[in-house]
Amino acid sequence: MASFSEIINSDKPVLVDFFATWCGPCKTMSPILDDLKSKVGNSASVLKVDVDKNPHAAEKYQVRSVPTLILFKNGKPVWRQSGVMQVGQLAQIIKQHQ
């Protein structure tokens, strides 16, 4: 299995959802991200990171609230936002960074 840094160093966009199992809005995001994955197919990756199980990743990217979505391209964050977002918005942001 590829490491987090290997995955985000991809030349295709990688959307990372920093979430927590106890977070209500994070649960709302789950089906939205599944829908997004089916829309973008292989043009981007969608990754979920549990901040309670991966505190180092959350700390490294200063994730202070969940859900926080960060889009990486070639290992660098190119976009981020906290809170629930809609599929259309996310698909558009990914498209801009392809």
- Give the whole-angstrom CA distance, residue 54 versus residue 45: 19
Catalytically annotated residue among 7, 12, 23, 48: 23
Active site residue 42: no
Active site residue 23: yes
Catalytically annotated residue among 15, 16, 20, 26: 26
Q: Is the distance from CB of 13 to CB of 97 less than 8 angstroms?
A: yes
List the structure tokens of 6: 């290997």
- Give the whole-angstrom CA distance, residue 19 versus residue 21: 7
Catalytic positions, please? 23, 26
